[in-house]
Structure 1
Amino acid sequence: MPRETKENSPSSRLALRGDLLDFVGAPGWGELDSPTVRFQPDSWLLIEDGRLAGSQAQEPDDSWRKADHSGRLILPGFIDTHVHCPQLDVIASYGAELLDWLHRYTFPAECRYADPAVAQQGAARFLDALLAHGTTAAVVFPTVHKVSTEALFAAAEERGMRLITGKVLMDRHAPPALLDDVAGAERDCIDLIQHWHGRARLAYAVTPRFAPTSSPEQLAMAGALCRADASLYMQTHVAESRDEMRWVAQLFPSARSYLDVYAAVGLLHPKAVLAHGIWLDAADRRVLADSGAHLAFCPSSNLFLGSGLLDWPATAEAGVKVSVASDVGGGTSLSLQRNLLDGYKVQALAGHRLSAWTALHAATRGAAEALGLASEIGHFGVGTLADVCVWDWAMGPVAQARDALVESLHERVFAWMSLSDERNLACSYVAGRQAFTRDISRNLARGS
């Protein structure tokens, strides 16, 4: 347990002691010794009024409340750029590829979120689980039901979290209980935007699930919303599986590609987040890069559903920004370390070696930059909000023995990334307020 002074002090100044690690830029692919890595061993991270006020080697004076996490790793909170709140209910479901997965597991789970009580309980459980896994900001799919979006926004506001979400749009090829219509969906979106977008740390994302479940008219409506307000985000899926690719080609025969369906209606822009992108071709990557939109790489989900393997270097070389996401429940863990390790394995299969620096950057500063939020989160720059997580370098005799034998910083961080998960998390802070702590085994998001 950390040694903390002035625990009951009303002071808004908090100093965290530990090994500070963040990024000042984007590391090059494969770099093991990168100038973009900022490592400050045994230093103090200073937080004042919920924002980062700097860092220093010497102990601050007694005007600061201090939490001594000596020997622990302190990172910016992770940013999960693609995850489904209602799919916690079906995580680790057996034996389905993408399209079968939707009909056997996802859609029945999402039907339950029409009930406000289910939506509220699900949102609270989901966000508390994120915080307990070291994720302090996220881009989230709710369901088609307006109430599920409202529940997520309200729960995130209560916890002070950065959250991007929006009502799912589906007007075809789904169970009747999950279908909306163009006019009704537009009214719901406008109402949600007016009530929640830009409030606290919340932002609205126009959210067509994927091209097959929205009619051309609904996709056009979604594009019109984006054009009307450039501050809105957009989230969807693209080119996840080969069966999905064939289906989209049948439904949109005039489109050059799956991505072209979105481009044609104005859904590709700098605030667009597209999950997967495994089966995009070179022309698609150029379009994506030119639009400023970015891809959320979901390696655990891609492996679990057998969807395919993203070529990250080719995507990056085309100028497309790449973040990393859990995609739970297709993914099998909210732990971004587990997803980063799966990302390493995916790249290794293609003959690429994903460094710990490229991986961690994509889950912190890189994700923040891709979302246009680098002035707020993702690194330890002065003035950013103090979304911070404290981790044990090693848990258990195997990891501890490995940690004792490392010979370089990259080797140590890569071993941590490979062997750690949520059990290594000591505590999470959201805007400088403790949101989760393992030491007393309870979530403090609403009371500390």
Structure 2
Amino acid sequence: MVLGDGIGPARIASALAGVFAVRLVYEMSMMWFGDRRSALWAALMYILSRAFYFPATMARPDMLASTLGLAAIWFAARYCRKPGWVLVAASGLAAGLSVLAHPMGTVPCAQVGLWLLLRPVQDNLTRIVSEGTGQNSPRSRVGLVWPVAFSRSNLRCRIAAAAIFTVAVLGAVGLWIPLIALHPDLFWSQFGGNVLARSGPSVGHAMLQPWSVLAFHGKLIWEHLMPIQAGLCLLAITWSVVRAWHTKASREFLFHLLASVLLLVLFMGRHPAKGYYAYPAALASVAAGLLASSIAASLKHFFCVAGRPWCRRTIAPIVTLGLVLALLPGAGLRTLWAHVRNWDNPAYDARRLARMMMDDLPPQSRVAVDGYYAMYFYLAGRDVVDAIVYPFYFDVRSEQFDYMILGPIGLQQVKPYVGGLELIQWYGDKSDRFAHYAELYGITRVK
């Protein structure tokens, strides 16, 4: 609402959410392990990863939902170190807002809720009492009244924290109610189509056959992140599992790392969306930062034993350089350079390309446009329908229209199923993989 309507403002919003996500990666790493160098490497790993790059540059809610989920984890982890109902409520509020951004937000809701119920409670709520505050200190008389009562029973403490978290989640999700009341038809169309009528196996089915779902997402992750980044994430996760029981912070981190992966896979099922990998990738980046720090520490020890302490100064730059070189393939630098070189090329500006299309069409015509350009037509006040052939969601073949505009995805997924299309004109540059491209068709018969 602040940035306005359109694809551009939506991408700016995703980028801003990405900035906050990178900061949260750094803060969570510092909170759990207190190693500034490790936290910086974690942030570097995340910002150069393909799991971050795509959702942070797309006009989708992937990055926002992931960032709010990370914020829920951060507030919950802060609560474990400094008890207070405000932190629990803030965690629930962030998780609830993540659900509002996209149903993927149910993952951090379940994840943080489980942690609040299962975590060891002895540490913080009772530790404060025994820190030597004394019976007559102001802190003892005022600040510790409710934490002391709150910590009398571990079970009661867990249930109370989970209850506060749940109420906050429901309160945030309840912000949806006014919109539902204003547009109940749209709500039932979305909720009934996307939630009640599933597009694939249920969560229960995925839990009974987890290996098939894990294999599906494993293949998807391998293709999306590419071998080097996917392998680095897998290595970091494996290393985190091996060292998990050394410290309590490691166990807490390991829970969130594994839960973010497993719950996301189970809740998504065989859904092909890849943008939500930004959520577990943030925690995998923390693991990668820790791994890089451990490697640097081992190298320092080796050079000291070998009698070459002067080499210690070069270790951090070498590890940083190695991490950057490993992450550069697929980090989006070629795309960035292509857009810089073609900053005034209409084929690189979807908005200008859409305006050219609209100039070639009668103002009163009804146009079926695929997702690449549909928003520009809608914002311009044109009569437009989404060019999708997906009966579970929407089937453009059931609509009447005069023209159809298809981008690369539409040419693959829509054109083969729609008859009576006659090519009128094409726009953009089909030979350039970084440029926009679309084809305008007239309709002689809708199949």
TM-score bracket relative to the smaller structure: under 0.3
Q: Relative CO higher for 1 or 2, CA cutoff 8 Å, sep ≥ 6? A: 1
Higher Cα radius of gyration = 2
Q: Please identify which structure carries the higher strand content.
A: 1
Q: Please identify which structure carries the higher helix content.
A: 2
TM-score for the superposition, normalised by structure 2: 0.25
